[in-house]
Amino acid sequence: MSADNQLQVIFITNDRKNKEKAVEEGIPAFTCEEYVKSLTANPELIDRLACLSEEGNEIESGKIIFSEHLPLSKLQQGIKSGTYLQGTFRASRENYLEATVWIHGDNEENKEIILQGLKHLNRAIHEDIVAVELLPKSQWVAPSSVVLHDEGQNEDDVEKEEEREQMLKTAVSEKMLKPTGRVVGIIKRNWRPYCGMLSKSDIKESRRHLFTPADKRIPRIRIETRQASTLEGRRIIVAIDGWPRNSRYPNGHFVKNLGDVGEKETETEVLLLEHDVPHQPFSQAVLSFLPKMPWSITEKDMKNREDLRHLCICSVDPPGCTDIDDALHCRELENGNLEVGVHIADVSHFIRPGNALDQESARRGTTVYLCEKRIDMVPELLSSNLCSLKCDVDRLAFSCIWEMNHSAEILKTKFTKSVINSKASLTYAEAQLRIDSANMRDDITTSLRGLNKLAKILKKKRIEKGALTLSSPEVRFHMDSETHDPIDLQTKELRETNSMVEEFMLLANISVAKKIHEEFSEHALLRKHPAPPPSNYEILVKAARSRNLEIKTDTAKSLAESLDRAESPAFPYLNTLLRILATRCMMQAVYFCSGMDNDFHHYGLASPIYTHFTSPIRRYADVIVHRLLAVAIGADCTYPELTDKHKLADICKNLNYRHKMAQYAQRASVAFHTQLFFKSKGIVSEEAYILFVRKNAIVVLIPKYGLEGTVFFEEKDKPNPRLIYDDEIPSLKIEDTVFHVFDKVKVKIVLDSSNLQHQKIRMSLVEPQIPGISIPPDNISNMNLNGPEKKKMKFEK
């Protein structure tokens, strides 16, 4: 190589001493920042530089707001001696000046510590692991009932924050006070890249702007960018770099532009990123473990497998379902008893332990169903084809077969790998029509009627044991066939056939749980539902009492029975509302490893043991359960991780996280589609029921749309009404009108797009009429914020 054509070597380092040494030796050396700033052809790269604050410079620039974080060594000593407590910091969505810390370990006394005020939050960010110091009892506070969002612009107006903090402090009874603390240090930061929008600075030519995350639990982040005008109105990703003591907000840098706000693709991407849902296409490494097409069942596949293709098996699912996990059959035996089979897709036949396909399915943990999109846990070839128990094709299954008498008592249980050929793929509605039809007597219909009859008996027995029938308003969108925008919204109808399928799935899950626990007492993957602590029920008990109804909560059975009795002839919807409220009192059901826990009970199902076996196409837990069951019956071989309870506990931890995130992502998708629906609808006024009363608001449910929202009674730039909040009843008095939980009101619903980032459904009171608060009904028709109603779109085909 000629001398003038030589590569120039430069040394990039942020270490001052290294840089000095390099310069001494004649090596051109730059800090990362100097180098990036020298690349004049790519000025946008500067935005991506991490914002490194020199701890030393903090003091000179501005007033110290926060106290210093103690070093890790001091924190560890303090935790050891009991001076400090370690826990996970959980910011509040409703109030940016409040958070809770969930204490790690078996500290029963102070499981949850409340933090109030900027200085006590001391720069902790949602999900950080922090050390907290408990304040003296005289400084304990009660959780605030005020809804507060950080509306501040660019200024570091700490005085204003202190005024707002005073709003949180109200006189409350002694028993409402909770252990209260302050953050003294950070043990582990759990920052991630955040989606959100730029709040452009009002100062012309300014490079410093505030970024507002989509997640209300994350504080705003100060970033420097030269592209503010192009990024306005876009969804972007920002990373946090640090949070100096003298800054009201953390510092960060721009990472990526996702697209225009409000666009369906952009918003779906934000939703998936914000809920940490793995959604990239499956890699070649993963796809390489799929069976080669055309696929057919071989002699080797039939080893340890029963041929059940002669049975009259059918599946019953929601309309449009392509990932059919389960199918059923019922037939009379010669001895007069009934044989009932639940046949589940044999996914573990295709996903072998430890390969790339297995690892990716384990990482995803679950399929995520959004309103118009499904993020599969396994590639489509398996989920919608080879594992899907479609009709008229041979499919591999894992079968759970019972012999029962006509009173639905189990006489024998058998588990076997099998090959089946479903005779019909029905929707819930089609199955219901067959059962109800007077002139249909074919094998499929006879089988369905037998199943339905047994399911009713099984359900009755379950309820007698204390199983809960709770309620949650689920909605369904009718989409326009061309624009794919929602044009109608209705709550889902539940039929007898939904319940029929559910009963046999529950029975299969319980039977399998018993079997794998008998076989592997230390490493069965099970699912439990803890009983809620009595305090969870306070809101339900008080709400019922305000209607002169008694709800008993000492056992699941007494709760179920008192919910059944809580009827009001004058108010038939009251019972549904009570069940919706009872759902809110429940704990989350979780997966766990039997060798790591001794409480197996499933509270909601009133079952001493439970697991998930029936949906392996869409839940990884079921794949593990299939493997355990296969080893238990000698149909497959074991592998080391399957019998390692610590590995299994780690799998459970990830599964619980992924399931929770999938649930939140689904809710966010419904919320976004609901906004699209009301955008085209203009302004509507509907009947609603109060679910909760707050200090300055009521939370209502609109049954027609299964929609929940908050009606605020304090608005900026308007005189505040007289509000009297009583936590005991609970009630909220506004001027001379008193509101109780379950009161019927009328509200106006409109999509408020004034804040592009958090477009929200805004609700205002129409009835009862309160002068200066309610909107007169005749004003509603004149208030269409979205121009004339769009022409009626075609209904769902």
Q: Which of 92, 98, 134 is nearest to 119 (CA)?
A: 98
How confident is the model at residue 56, as a pLDDT? 39
pLDDT at 218: 93
Task: Compute the mean pLDDT over every residue in the chain, rounded to the nearest whole number.
Answer: 86
Q: Which of 58-72, 682-696, 707-721, 748-762 has the highest mean pLDDT?
A: 682-696
Residue with tokens 């640090």: 242
Pairing relationship of beta strands 760-767 and 744-752 according to DSSP bridges: antiparallel
pLDDT at 253 over 70: yes
pLDDT confidence band for 20 (50 / 70 / 90): confident
Q: For residue 101, give the DSSP letter.
A: E
pLDDT for 268: 93
Share of the chain above pLDDT 70, in %: 87
Around Cβ 371, how many Cβ atoms within 10 Å? Answer: 20
Q: Tens digit of pLDDT for each residue in 127-172?
A: 999 999 999 998 998 887 777 777 655 445 566 666 666 666 666 6
Confidence band for 356, pLDDT divided at 50, 70 and 90: very high
Supply the pLDDT for residue 186: 95
- Phi first, then psi: give them for residue 159, nearest 5 degrees: -60, -40
Distance CA 425, CA 325 (A): 11
pLDDT given at position 723: 85
**Two domains, one topology: 72-150+171-253 and 682-767:** yes
Q: Determine the pLDDT at residue 735.
A: 85
- Phi, psi angle pair for 592, to nearest 5°: -155, 165
| Residue carrying the six token digits 């509040």 | 92
Distance between CA atoms of residues 221 and 211, nearest Å: 5
In the predicted structure, residue 745 carries a pLDDT above the cut 90 = yes
Confidence of residue 784 (pLDDT cuts 50, 70, 90): very low
Amino acid letter at 242?
G
pLDDT band per the 50, 70, 90 thresholds, residue 106: low
Q: Is the peptide bond before 768 cis (omega within 30 degrees of 0)?
A: yes
**Cα 9 → chain centroid:** 50
Domain ranges of the chain: 11-38, 72-150+171-253, 284-455+495-528+590-667, 682-767
* Domain 72-150+171-253, CATH number (from 3.40.190.10, 2.60.40.10, 2.40.50.690, 2.40.128.50): 2.40.50.690
Q: What's residue 568's pLDDT?
A: 84
Return d(Cα 26, Cα 571) in angstroms, integer. 87
Confidence label for 790 from pLDDT (cuts 50, 70 and 90) = very low
Q: Is the dihedral of CA 776, 777, 782, 787 positive or negative?
A: positive
The token pair at 669 is 């998708």
| Residues 440, 496, 406: CA angle, nearest 5 degrees | 75
Question: CA-CA distance, 31 to 25, in Å (whole number)?
Answer: 16
Average pLDDT over residues 202-219: 84
- Does pLDDT of 14 surpass 50? yes
pTM of the model: 0.80
Q: What residues contact residue 38 under an 8 Å CB cut-off, 6+ apart?
A: 30
Q: What fold, for 682-767?
A: OB fold (Dihydrolipoamide Acetyltransferase, E2P) (2.40.50)
307 pLDDT higher than 90: yes
pLDDT the model gives residue 18: 83
Q: How confident is the model at residue 205 (pLDDT cuts 50, 70, 90)?
A: low
By CB atoms closer than 10 A (0-12, 13-18, 19+), residue 84 is buried
Q: In the chain, what are the helix, strand and coil shares in percent, each to the nearest 5?
A: 30, 25, 45
| CA-based nearest residue to 548, from 576, 579, 581, 578 | 578
Task: In whole angstroms, give the CA distance from residue 580 to residue 568.
Answer: 16
Which pLDDT does position 726 carry in this prediction?
86
User: What is the distance between the alpha carbons of residues 715 and 425, in angstroms, rounded to a whole number?
Assistant: 54
pLDDT at residue 58 in the model: 41
Q: Band of the pLDDT at 335, cuts 50, 70, 90?
A: very high
DSSP letter for each residue of 34-99: HHHHH-TT-GGGGGGS-----HHHHTTSS---SPPPPPHHHHHHHHHHTSEEEEEEEE-SSBTTEE
User: In degrees, to the nearest 5, what angle opens at C-alpha 145 toward C-alphas 143 and 147?
Assistant: 115
pLDDT exceeds cutoff 60 at 315: yes
The arithmetic mean of pLDDT across residues 34-47, rounded, is 73
> What's the pLDDT at 605?
92
